[in-house]
Amino acid sequence: MSTTMTPTMTQGPLSDLLVVDLSRALAGPHATMMMGDLGARVIKVEAPGKGDDTRGWGPPFAQPSRDSAAAESTYFLSANRNKESVVLDLKDEADKDVLRTLVSRADVLVENFRTGVLDRLGLGFDELHRLNPRLVILSITGFGHDGPEGGRAGYDQIAQGEAGLMSLTGSGPDDPQKVGTPISDLLAGMYGAFGVVAALRERRRTGRGSVVRTSLLAATVGVHGFQSTRWTVAGQVGHAQGNHHVAIAPYGLFHCADGAVQIAVGSEGLWHDFCQGFGVDPETPGFATNPERVANRERLISLVEEIFSEWKSADLLARLDEVGIPAGRVRSIDEVYAWEQTHSQGLVIDVQHDTLGSLQLAGPPLRFFEPDGEEVTRRTHTAPPVLGADGASVLAWLHEDGLR
């Protein structure tokens, strides 16, 4: 299926794909941003006037100048790099025809409307596949498309609570906390993007498109990890217990003379190395094996913090490295973005925004290499678009392609 890329399009493993993005807020936009990062052409369809809901989510807002009213939400900027923006009113037949034309040329369509909205617009999945039988549709909801609560609206913090994540996060059982990022939204986007790539692979075999469904609930349950089998197999209900691992000790955050460090003593060999490095008898009663250390976690934490209280964090981290114990500090967000290691991994990118000028954004988390070791990761990126910035060029492209 030809998607005739724009002249500025950068190559990538998905560079032959056209993605129509009908989603807003975060889960869907995060999925389509992942596809755009990998080279897909992503055309973001936004409502007239306000566009994506996140354009209004602030403060903070960025402005071209102190006197300018052309403010851009930093929230929107976080989830919409490498996209084009067109404004279409999906209740207007002429605009709906433009969307139908885009759909007929697209490889992927992403939406996160409440269940039934597309049907009421005359753009249900059957109609979309009639227009384009090869279309892969990603549909993201809050709690699933069916089931007794399938119609519920999905917002991240509500999903974190309903899916059990908050009960596992916090200082203790009576202190449920949300994760500091909208993790249920982000996970739904990540699972969704993975599902799309799988469906595209299947399309190569069948020649047909399909529908990929996920939800904030499904994505959050999907990362319960060992906490799931802790309940389903062992019958134990996990709960929040602060900054220490439930099944490994010592593993967590420990205070020292001028702050705190984190260590991960993840094996018996590392426990012996730790003990040798800090003058502890590894056979101390109650500490000889990991199950014993977990059972006596509070006493172990007190012992380790008593040892660490004589150390400043920089010296302690150096000693832990010398001994061979995985360890690290707790960095603030500004420290992360100033960190040379972060920059070395391509996790900070420079873009040129239409109204804000030069910006730094978080970069894509994937890198690609040829068998000979040459890196072929996408190097140039486009800034999140201002509302409707690409409407004229997209329409011109459609007409050049002989579409009306």
Burial 281-307, CB ≥16 within 10 A → b, else e: eeeeeebeebeebbebbeebbebbeeb
* 207: Cα separation from own chain's centroid: 30
Q: Which two tokens stand for residue 236?
A: 């134990």
Rounded Cα gap, residues 404 and 399, in angstroms: 6
Q: In the annotation, is 372 catalytic?
A: no
Spell out where 142-242 has E strands: 210-215
Are the beta carbons of 84 and 42 closer than 8 angstroms? yes
The one catalytic residue in 126, 185, 334, 390 is 185
CA-based angle 80:85:88, to the nearest 5?
A: 130
Q: How far apart are the first and last CA of the chain?
A: 18
Q: Which two tokens stand for residue 274?
A: 């730790």
What are the distances in angstroms from CA 161 to CA 156, 170, 220, 292, 309?
Answer: 9, 12, 10, 32, 36
Are the beta carbons of 75 and 58 closer than 8 angstroms? yes
Are the beta carbons of 358 and 350 closer than 8 angstroms? yes
Rounded Cα gap, residues 327 and 264, in angstroms: 6
Rounded Cα gap, residues 174 and 270, in angstroms: 33
Rounded Cα gap, residues 208 and 292, in angstroms: 55
Helix spans in 234-312 (H): 268-278, 290-295, 297-308
The residues annotated as belonging to the active site are 185
